[in-house]
Amino acid sequence: MTKRHDLTRRTQALLLAAALGLSPLVVAPALAQMRGLSVGGPNIHVGPRIPINPSVRYSPNLNYGPVVEDRIENGPPRTRKPPPERASKKSSRNPVAAADRTFVPNEVLIEIAGQPTAAQVQDIAKKHRLRQVQSQHIALLDTTFYRWRIPDGRSVDTVVKQLSADGGIKSAQRNSIFRLQDDPGGKAPFQYALAKLRLPEAQALSTGEKIKVAVIDSGIDIAHPELAGSIAGTFDALDSKEKAHAHGTSIAGIIAAHATLKGAAPAAKLLAIRAFGESKTGAESTTFLVLKGLDYAASNGAQIVNMSFAGPRDAVIARGLAAAAAKNMVLVAAVGNAGPKAAPLFPGADPHVIGVTATDASDAIFAKANQGAYVAVAAPGVDILAPLPDGKYGVSSGTSLSAAYVSGLAALMLARNPSLTPDEVRQALTQSARDLGAPGRDDRFGAGEADAFAAVSAVAAPVATASEPSARAPR
């Protein structure tokens, strides 16, 4: 839970101002005088994030923090009781708190050598006393992964060791857990990130048109007014009937909102990929589900992949990211919210990924952000107003949100110059960033805060000359 914030009239006024096209810089000084002013429109209340139901049977839970919600209906905020939790078998002999788990405690993820028949797969599972759960062919890696359960209480590492010694097994590993990276929100000027990133100036040059951004996340409210016309495709790695979720909806809005709010790339198209399942404590995913989402993104023309989640180093995910980068896909991820002394989290620390940290309205680093040599750039991620399901809005914080801004900025750059490689996008972002903290690159801010206008200006496509015809010119 968080403290109740006095945001009702404040946020009403800000949303109204946005609808009227007023600058946040004009509105902000007047907010102190708004206490006695009655403003029509939706009431904004502080309340707990809506509890969510378990649906990924074999995946542990994730703690997901509260946000400030814009409840369209009038009335006080209500705390909704979570529905009854579905029973799940826990075969680990040393159970660990769900929020502390880094892998599913009773599952393994394997590849089988060659092209096995169904009978051969069944024989291997029987030989190792495993129960088949699911399999998926991953076109990105041209291989099939099998997700199997350990029904007899053996540890995952014991089973992985046994499988690795089997000549018929190509690879075996844990089914890692990845968690969304956001935190409770507080108070900040309305959409201050626009000015911080110089997005209005950048959007005069590019709005992200014709660029596909894959959002691998929890469920996105594709019917939200902020996302009207933005969705180019949807994929549910869970094959679930879950409702839209706050985190995924917010991330999509930060990238492409274009109604009351303004996203980083309002003309970009989104691939809404649900890879994070809901539970009473939050939303989390696994190696298997993230890989399915990444494969869908690669197979459906995504030029950018936003990954606002974090987890342990994972060999299979690393292979998928390397393959995606080889297909010229720009990969952006949150560096994580585990704190400045925490070990690196992935995919944000992967060398093929642009790892993004979060800053606030005063350019201070987000206190919970991971720090390290893998931090590429910073972007606003504290007290960010973004869409929530059912036409609502909310304020939250975290490196998840800053990653979404950088994904949108990458879309502006690619729309401006479609020939850019992922390395060129990274280079332009870091070289044009506004230095923060110690002079030069550092482990807190990376190269500094992203500057959308400078980055987009730096990547303008060269003008073709008579002696050098454009690569896109007909021959």
| 321-344 per-position pLDDT tens digit | 999 999 999 999 999 999 999 999
> 287 with 431, same domain?
yes
> 297 with 243, same domain?
yes
Q: 204 or 63, which is more confident?
A: 204
Distance CA 438, CA 42 (A): 43
Beta strand 231-236 with 269-274 is parallel
Task: Examine the fold and report which residue of 169, 194, 220 is the final residue of a domain before the chain moves on.
Answer: 169
User: What pLDDT does 471 receive?
Assistant: 40
Query: Per-residue confidence at 250, pLDDT binned at 50, 70, 90?
Result: very high
| Predicted structure pTM score | 0.77
205 in a structural domain: yes
Q: Which domain holds residue 164?
A: 103-169
Distance CA 187, CA 8 (A): 12
Lowest mean pLDDT among 90-104, 130-144, 220-234, 406-420: 90-104
Query: Per-residue confidence at 195, pLDDT binned at 50, 70, 90?
Result: very high
User: What pLDDT does 87 receive?
Assistant: 31
The answer, yes or no, to whether residue 59 has pLDDT greater than 80, is no
* Angle subtended at Cα 368 by Cα 366 and Cα 369, rounded to the nearest 5 degrees: 70
The answer, yes or no, to whether residue 239 has pLDDT greater than 60, is yes
Q: Pick the catalytic residue: 45, 128, 224, 247?
A: 247
Catalytic (active site) residue 400:
yes
326 in a structural domain: yes
470 in a structural domain: no
| Amino acid type, 377 | V
Lowest mean pLDDT among 11-15, 208-212, 281-285, 429-433: 11-15
> 202 with 332, same domain?
yes
Q: What are the CA-CA distances from residue 452 to residues 5, 61, 431 (Å)? A: 31, 36, 12
User: What pLDDT does 101 receive?
Assistant: 83
Distance CA 260, CA 123 (A): 57
The average pLDDT across 150-165 equals 96
User: What pLDDT does 470 receive?
Assistant: 40
Range list of β-strands (E), 360-471: 375-380, 384-388, 392-397
Please give the share of the chain, as a percent, with pLDDT higher than 70: 74
Determine contact, residues 338/357, Cβ cutoff 8 Å: no
> 137 with 204, same domain?
no
The structure tokens listed for 423 are 């390395």
- Residue 444 sits in a domain whose CATH number is 3.40.50.200
> 131 with 159, same domain?
yes
Lowest mean pLDDT among 99-113, 331-345, 378-392: 99-113
64 in a structural domain: no
Q: Is the dihedral of CA 443, 445, 450, 454 positive or negative?
A: negative
> 427 with 356, same domain?
yes
Query: Per-residue confidence at 227, pLDDT binned at 50, 70, 90?
Result: very high
- Residue 115 sits in a domain whose CATH number is 3.30.70
Spell out the residues 6+ positions from residue 451 whose beta carbon is closer than 8 angstroms to its own: 197, 198, 432, 433, 434
Distance CA 194, CA 267 (A): 16
* Angle subtended at Cα 106 by Cα 100 and Cα 109, rounded to the nearest 5 degrees: 100
373 in a structural domain: yes
From the list 37, 11, 33, the residue with the least C-alpha distance to 24 is 11
Query: Per-residue confidence at 15, pLDDT binned at 50, 70, 90?
Result: low
> 159 with 217, same domain?
no
User: What pLDDT does 339 receive?
Assistant: 96
218 in a structural domain: yes
From the list 25, 49, 153, 143, the residue with the least C-alpha distance to 392 is 49
> 279 with 420, same domain?
yes
Distance CA 142, CA 175 (A): 19
Beta strand 282-286 with 304-307 is unpaired
Q: Pick the catalytic residue: 70, 182, 217, 314?
A: 217
The answer, yes or no, to whether residue 77 has pLDDT greater than 70, is no
Lowest mean pLDDT among 38-47, 89-98, 214-223: 38-47
Spacing of C-alpha 126 from chain mean position: 38
Q: Is the dihedral of CA 127, 128, 134, 137 positive or negative?
A: negative
User: What pLDDT does 190 receive?
Assistant: 77
The average pLDDT across 38-64 equals 31
From the list 70, 162, 153, 88, the residue with the least C-alpha distance to 125 is 162
The structure tokens listed for 44 are 């904004």
41 in a structural domain: no
> 387 with 306, same domain?
yes
Distance CA 252, CA 247 (A): 9
The average pLDDT across 101-125 equals 94
Task: Examine the fold and report which residue of 140, 169, 198 is the final residue of a domain before the chain moves on.
Answer: 169
Determine contact, residues 187/382, Cβ cutoff 8 Å: no
In a 10 Å sphere around its CB, with 0-12 CB exposed, 13-18 middle and 19+ buried, how is residue 384 labelled?
Answer: buried
User: What pLDDT does 431 receive?
Assistant: 98
Please give the share of the chain, as a percent, with pLDDT higher than 90: 70
Task: Examine the fold and report which residue of 135, 169, 203 is the final residue of a domain before the chain moves on.
Answer: 169
User: What pLDDT does 283 receive?
Assistant: 85
Lowest mean pLDDT among 79-88, 323-332, 407-416, 455-464: 79-88
Distance CA 376, CA 348 (A): 9
The structure tokens listed for 441 are 């690159």
User: What pLDDT does 26 receive?
Assistant: 34
363 in a structural domain: yes
User: What pLDDT does 131 receive?
Assistant: 96
User: What pLDDT does 184 receive?
Assistant: 61
User: What pLDDT does 466 receive?
Assistant: 43
Chain mean pLDDT for the chain: 81
Which spans in 151-190 are helix H?
A: 156-164
Q: How many domains does the chain have?
A: 2
User: What pLDDT does 21 receive?
Assistant: 45
User: What pLDDT does 461 receive?
Assistant: 74
> 160 with 215, same domain?
no
From the list 473, 423, 428, the residue with the least C-alpha distance to 452 is 428
The average pLDDT across 205-225 equals 98
Q: Pick the catalytic residue: 206, 308, 397, 400?
A: 400
Determine contact, residues 303/330, Cβ cutoff 8 Å: yes
> 253 with 374, same domain?
yes
The structure tokens listed for 332 are 């952006």
> 155 with 264, same domain?
no
